[in-house]
Each structure stands twice: as structure tokens, then as C-alpha cells.
Structure 1
Amino acid sequence: MNNLTLFLLSFLVGIMVVIQGGINARLGILLNNSLLATSTALTMGASLTLITVLISVRQFPSMHQVREIPLYMWVTGGVLSFFAVTLFYYIIPKIGISTAVTFGLAGQLIFAAIAGHFGWFNMPLEPITIKKIAGLIVMITGVILIKSQNELN
């Protein structure tokens, strides 16, 4: 896939995160429990993932490959997903979807810039540049403006 396609898919993912966050936060309100909404969303996601794996994966890793993977790699992603999704569904009804997503995106961008700069998680190095710092400053300013607008209402 070319970069334009990947950029558009990333943009689409952002839209899907907002849609699912809004729908599942509302589900948490209707169920009177954001944990029930989280369990519904993650169970559905896990089920669809398992079905897709069973249909599409032609060769599974060997037991030797599986044993070589550190335990934290099997656990951390799921634990972080649980906390992120649960907090998202809890926070959205309290501060609004645009504020929650804006602050969430700010956290993602700032941490991604730091992690990319140091190549954390064995990812390619993406040094922090003056342009990147300027972009982060503009983004943080946008977050502040969005938040201040919400406080005026």
C-alpha cells in the first residue's frame, strides 16, 4: 500500500474511534455501567478477531516461536486496551466526546513523538525536529482553545 492510502486509513481509524467511543459510552450510560459496555465491546472485538484469524491465517507460529516471546508482550497490550477503552467510555459522558478525544489525541501525539524519537518498542527512529515541536505546540494550543471554549458554555 502506498503512503496516501495508509494516511487515509489512519484518518478513517480516527473516525471509527470517535464513533465507537460515542456509541459505547452511550451503551455504558444505558447499562448504568461503563465496565459492561467495555466487556461488550472487547468481547465483540475479540470474537471478530478470532473469526478473522481462523479464516485468514494460513500458518501459525511454532511453539518455539511462541515460547520466545516475553510474557509481558502477551499481557500488556490487552491490559492497556482494557484500561484505555474503559476510561474512554467512563470519561466521554462526563466531559463530552470532542474534549475526551481532543485530550486523548494530545496524549497520543506527545507520547508518540517521544517514543518515536527514542525508538521505543523497537520502532523506527523518528527524531523530534523543530517542525515536530512546532506542530505539537500548535496542537496543544488547539487543545487549550477547545477546552476553554467548553468552559465558556
Structure 2
Amino acid sequence: MNTFLLPAVGLLAGAAISIQSALSGQLSQRLRNPMLASASVYLVGFVCIALFLSIRSSSFPSRSTLLETPRHLWVLGGAISATALSSVYWAMPKLGIGSTLIWVICGQLICGALASHLSWFHLPASPLSTQRLLALALVFAGALLYTRQPTI
């Protein structure tokens, strides 16, 4: 089941992120303010998640668990996400959706491979082999080829 389901979820999430990014890029361009576009995305996202949480009856962490959770785990993810998304919304009207997202994906893959190799964030280690380094180089080369303007 996981052999097909998990990659399918990843592909669908990637497609949804492309559509969401394109729409938010348009919003940023119309508003002439990528931060306002990001604020809108986060506000609507917060409302949607709050509704989902209110409908779904799952247990919430205890007060002590909430208080014992390191502050950086509460703050850094949101701060990094807001900065990254605002950057994408700023770049997308200038580069286009394909070029912007291919560099985003390339950056995610390189950082993810490094994080896996070094076992950052207490996640399982996955060493960088020659095959994986070659794969990353091909992705980077693909990004260069995709974004290079053709000459006549």
C-alpha cells in the first residue's frame, strides 16, 4: 500500500502546491505586496485547519506537553515558511510558475539530502552516496536547462 499511496500523496501535494503558488503569485502581483498575499494564505489556512480540528475529534496535547515544547519549534517553522512563501510570491510573477518552482524544488532536494545525510532535526540518517549526488547534480542541471532562455 505505501509503495503506491505515499508517492501518490507526494505527487498530489506537489501539484496542489503548484496551483496554490500560482494563485498566490497572482494575488501578490495584483496587491503589489507579497507579504500581504502570504498573510492572506496563512489566515485562510489557519481558518481551514481550525475548522478541521474542531470537526475531527482527536486528542490535543496536554498543557505540560505544550509548555515543555521548545520555543524554537513553535516559531522557526512559521517564520521560515512565511519568508520562503513571500519570496516565492515575489519571484513567481517575474520568473513564471515553472521556473520559480523548479528552483524551489531543487533547493528542497539539496537541503533535504544534506539534512538526511547529516541527520539534522533528529530524523533518520540517509547517507549521500555517489548515486544520490549524481541524482542531485542531474536535478540541478535540469533546473539550469529548464530556466535557460533559448537563443535564436
Normalising to structure 2: TM-score of the pair? 0.94
Matched residue, 1:112:
112
Matching residue's letter, 2:36: L
Matching residue's letter, 2:140: I
Per-residue Cα deviation, 1:38-91 (whole angstroms, up to 9, x for no partner): 111111111111111122242111111111110010101111111111111111
Provide the C-alpha distance between the structure 2 equivalents of 1:33 and 1:91, rounded to a whole number of angstroms: 12
Tell me by how many angstroms 1:152 deviates: 3.7
Provide the C-alpha distance between the structure 2 equivalents of 1:47 and 1:3, rounded to a whole number of angstroms: 33
**Identity across matched positions, percent:** 29
Matched residue, 1:28:
28
Per-residue Cα deviation, 1:74-118 (whole angstroms, up to 9, x for no partner): 101111111111111111001111111111111000000000011
Secondary structure of 2:59's match? Answer: coil
Normalising to structure 1: TM-score of the pair? 0.93
Tell me by how many angstroms 1:131 deviates: 1.3
Matched residue, 1:39:
39
1:95 aligns with 2:95: yes
Describe the shift of the 1:152–1:49 C-alpha distance in structure 2 as closer, same or farther (beyond 3 A). Answer: farther
Tell me by how many angstroms 1:151 deviates: 5.7
Per-residue Cα deviation, 1:12-38 (whole angstroms, up to 9, x for no partner): 111111111111111111222222211
Matching residue's letter, 2:107: G
Provide the C-alpha distance between the structure 2 equivalents of 1:14 and 1:123, rounded to a whole number of angstroms: 22
Structure 2 residues not aligned, in runs of 5+: none
Provide the C-alpha distance between the structure 2 equivalents of 1:32 and 1:130, rounded to a whole number of angstroms: 44
Matched residue, 2:3:
3
Matched residue, 2:58:
58
Provide the C-alpha distance between the structure 1 equivalents of 2:151 and 2:49, rounded to a whole number of angstroms: 43
Provide the C-alpha distance between the structure 2 equivalents of 1:104 and 1:45, rounded to a whole number of angstroms: 21
